[in-house]
Amino acid sequence: MSSDSTIRQRRVPGGSGQAGAYDQDGEDHVNTVYQNPRARSQWEQLLDTPRASMAVVGVLTTLAFALRFYKINHPDQVVFDEVHFGKFAAYYILREYYFDVHPPLTKLLFGLAGWFVGFDGNFTFDNIGDSYTENHVPYVGMRAMPAIFGSLTVPAVYAIMKESGYSTIVAAFSASIILFDNAHIAQSRLMLLDAPFIFFMSMTIYSYIRWRKLRYHEFSVEWWSWLFGTGFWMACTWGSKVNGVLTVVTIGIAVLIDLWDMLDWKKNGYTMEHFWKHFGARAAGLIAWPVVLYLIFFWFHFTVLIYSGAGDSFMSPAFQETLIGNELLMNSQDLHYYDIITIKHKDTKVFLHSHPETYPLRYDDGRISSQGQQVTGYAHDDTNNHWQIIPTKSLPDWHQARIVRHEDVIQLLHVNTQTLLMTHDVASSLMATNQEFTTWPREDQTRYNDTLFHLEVVDGVIAEAWKSKSSHFRLVHVPTRVSMWTYSSQLPEWAFKQQEVNGNKNPTDKSAAWVVSDILETDAPVDLENQQPKEPKKLGFFRKFAELQVLMLQHNAGLTASHPYASGPINWPFLISGISFWTENDSQKQIYLIGNLIGWWASVVALSIYFGIVGADLLARRRDVYPVPDEVRNRLWNSAGFFVLVWAVHYLPFFLMGRQLFIHHYLPSHLASAMVAGAVLNFVISETINFPVSIAGRSTKMRPSQYADLGIRGPVITGLFIFALFLMFMFLAPLTYGTPGLDGDTVNAKRLLSSWTLHFAAKVTDGQS
Partner 1 sequence: MRPDQVHIDFGTPEGPTPRTSDEYEQVSYPSTHNHDHQHHHTTHTHTHRNEGGNESLPLHYMSEETARRRVAKGPGNSGGFMSGEESEKDMPYDDTGKDVYSKMRPGAGVPRVSSGRVHRPPPPPPTSITEYIHQNMDIVTPIFYTLLSCWSRFRKIGLNDHVVWDEAHFGKFGSYYLRREFYFDVHPPLGKMLVGFAGALVGYDGSFQFESGAQYTENVPYVAWRVVMSMFGVALVPIAWFTAVELGMSQFACHVVALMVLCDVGWLVISRFILLDSMLLFFTFTTVFFLAKFHNEQHHSFSFDWWMWLTLTGFSIGCVCSVKWVGLFVTSVVGLYTIEDLWEKFGDLRLSNRQQIRHWGARITCLITIPILVYMASFKLHFMILNHSGTGDAQMSSLFQAHLVGNDFATNPLEVAYGSRITLKNMGWGGGLLHSHVQTYPTGSEQQQVTCYHYKDNNNEWNILPRWDEPAFDPNSDMRFLKHGDIIRLQHGPSTRNLHSHEVAGPITKVNYEVSCYGNATVGDYHDYWVVEVLDDIKQGKREHVEKIHALTTRLRFRHSTLGCYLHAGTVPLPQWGFKQIETTCIKENDPSDAHTIWNVEGHWNDRLPPADATYHKSPFLRDFWHLNVAMMTSNNALMPDVDKEDILASVPTDWPLMRLGLRMCGWGDEIPKYYLIGTPIVWWGSFVAIIISVFVLGAYLLRWQRKYVDMDAHEWGHFLYVGKIAFYGWFLHYIPFFIMGRVTYVHHYLPTLYFAVLMFGHVFDHFFFSSRRLSTKTKRIVFGVVTFLIVANFWWFRGLAWGMEGPINDHWGLQWRKSWNIYNI
Among 2, 38, 50, 260, contact with partner 1 (rule: CB under 8 A): 260
**Least gap, CB of 627 to partner 1 (angstroms):** 12
**Least gap, CB of 431 to partner 1 (angstroms):** 6
**Least gap, CB of 221 to partner 1 (angstroms):** 30
Nearest to 82, CA basis, from 120, 136, 139: 139
H/E stretch holding 30 = helix 25-34
19 sits near partner 1 (criterion: CB under 8 A): yes
Distance, CA of 216 to CA of 241 (rounded, Å): 34
Chain positions 150 to 189 lying near partner 1, rule: CB under 8 A, are: none
How far, in whole angstroms, is CA 756 from its chain's centroid? 25
Produce one character per residue of 216-239: b if its CB has 16 or more CB atoms within 10 Å, e if not.
bbeeeeebbbbbbbbbbbbbbbbb
Distance, CA of 764 to CA of 322 (rounded, Å): 59
**Least gap, CB of 506 to partner 1 (angstroms):** 8
Q: Based on CB atoms, which residue is closest to partner 1, 505 or 534?
A: 505
CA quadruple 133, 135, 138, 140: dihedral positive or negative?
negative
Q: Based on CB atoms, which residue is closest to partner 1, 380 or 623?
A: 623
Strand 409-414 and strand 435-441: pairing? unpaired
Q: Based on CB atoms, which residue is closest to partner 1, 65 or 626?
A: 626
Residue 711 carries which side chain, given as an amino acid letter? G
434 sits near partner 1 (criterion: CB under 8 A): yes
528 sits near partner 1 (criterion: CB under 8 A): no
Chain positions 55 to 74 lying near partner 1, rule: CB under 8 A, are: none
**Least gap, CB of 625 to partner 1 (angstroms):** 10
Stretch near partner 1 under the rule CB under 8 A, chosen from 86-94, 239-247, 622-630, 750-758: 622-630
Q: Based on CB atoms, which residue is closest to partner 1, 134 or 264?
A: 264
Nearest to 353, CA basis, from 323, 322, 380: 380
**What is the x/- site pattern for partner 1, positions 203-242, by CB under 8 A?**
----------------------------------------
Q: Based on CB atoms, which residue is closest to partner 1, 226 or 487?
A: 487
Q: Answer whether 515's CB lies under 8 Å from 346's CB.
A: yes
15 sits near partner 1 (criterion: CB under 8 A): yes
256 sits near partner 1 (criterion: CB under 8 A): no
Distance, CA of 629 to CA of 16 (rounded, Å): 24
493 sits near partner 1 (criterion: CB under 8 A): no
**Least gap, CB of 489 to partner 1 (angstroms):** 8
Strand, helix or coil for residue 476: strand
Q: Based on CB atoms, which residue is closest to partner 1, 394 or 769?
A: 769
Q: Give the Å distances, CA to CA, from 207 to 234, 291, 301, 616.
A: 9, 18, 27, 32
Residues β-bridged to residue 484: 503
**DSSP-assigned states of every residue in 534-598:** PPPPP--HHHHHHHHHHHHHHHHHT--S--TT---GGGGGGT---EEEEEETTTTEEEEE---HH
Stretch near partner 1 under the rule CB under 8 A, chosen from 65-73, 154-162, 258-266, 277-285: 258-266
Q: Based on CB atoms, which residue is closest to partner 1, 121 or 641?
A: 641
Q: Based on CB atoms, which residue is closest to partner 1, 306 or 427?
A: 427
Instruction: Quickly list H helices, 241-323.
Output: 244-263, 265-268, 272-283, 289-304, 317-320
Q: Based on CB atoms, which residue is closest to partner 1, 275 or 726?
A: 275
**Least gap, CB of 679 to partner 1 (angstroms):** 21
Stretch near partner 1 under the rule CB under 8 A, chosen from 72-80, 187-195, 259-267, 702-710: 259-267
What is residue 734's DSSP assignment? H
H/E stretch holding 457 = strand 453-457
Chain positions 470 to 489 lying near partner 1, rule: CB under 8 A, are: 489
Nearest to 466, CA basis, from 597, 327, 341: 341
Among 4, 10, 380, 446, contact with partner 1 (rule: CB under 8 A): 10
Among 397, 529, 586, 630, contact with partner 1 (rule: CB under 8 A): 630
**Least gap, CB of 368 to partner 1 (angstroms):** 18
Stretch near partner 1 under the rule CB under 8 A, chosen from 9-17, 525-533, 538-546, 576-584: 9-17
Among 265, 494, 542, 611, contact with partner 1 (rule: CB under 8 A): 265
**What is the x/- site pattern for partner 1, positions 550-589, by CB under 8 A?**
----------------------------------------
| Integer-rounded Cα radius of gyration of the chain | 33
Instruction: Quickly list H helices, 264-387.
Output: 265-268, 272-283, 289-304, 317-320, 327-331
Q: Based on CB atoms, which residue is closest to partner 1, 62 or 508?
A: 508
Q: Based on CB atoms, which residue is closest to partner 1, 594 or 661?
A: 661
**Least gap, CB of 456 to partner 1 (angstroms):** 18
**Least gap, CB of 20 to partner 1 (angstroms):** 9
430 sits near partner 1 (criterion: CB under 8 A): yes
**DSSP-assigned states of every residue in 59-79:** HHHHHHHHHHHTTTT-S-B--
Among 38, 266, 698, 763, contact with partner 1 (rule: CB under 8 A): 266
Distance, CA of 465 to CA of 477 (rounded, Å): 20
624 sits near partner 1 (criterion: CB under 8 A): yes
Among 36, 62, 133, 433, contact with partner 1 (rule: CB under 8 A): 433
Count of all residues that appear for the chain in the document: 769
The CA dihedral of 625, 627, 630, 634, to the nearest 10 degrees, is: -110
505 sits near partner 1 (criterion: CB under 8 A): yes
How far, in whole angstroms, is CA 38 from its chain's centroid? 49
Q: Answer whether 491's CB lies under 8 Å from 431's CB.
A: no
Nearest to 501, CA basis, from 514, 516, 518: 514
**Least gap, CB of 21 to partner 1 (angstroms):** 11
Distance, CA of 660 to CA of 81 (rounded, Å): 14
Among 22, 276, 448, 494, contact with partner 1 (rule: CB under 8 A): 22
432 sits near partner 1 (criterion: CB under 8 A): yes
Number of Cα atoms under 13 Å in the Cβ half of residue 651: 22
Q: Answer whether 352's CB lies under 8 Å from 382's CB.
A: no
**Least gap, CB of 266 to partner 1 (angstroms):** 5
Nearest to 292, CA basis, from 303, 283, 304, 279: 283
Q: Based on CB atoms, which residue is closest to partner 1, 134 or 261?
A: 261
Q: Based on CB atoms, which residue is closest to partner 1, 126 or 624?
A: 624
Nearest to 561, CA basis, from 653, 489, 659, 662: 659
Site size for partner 1 (CB under 8 A): 29
Stretch near partner 1 under the rule CB under 8 A, chosen from 14-22, 209-217, 561-569, 584-592: 14-22
Stretch near partner 1 under the rule CB under 8 A, chosen from 260-268, 387-395, 605-613, 749-757: 260-268
622 sits near partner 1 (criterion: CB under 8 A): yes
Strand, helix or coil for residue 658: coil
**Residues of this chain that bind partner 1 (CB under 8 A):** 10-11, 15, 17, 19, 22, 260, 263-266, 272, 430-434, 489, 505-506, 619, 621-624, 626, 630, 768-769
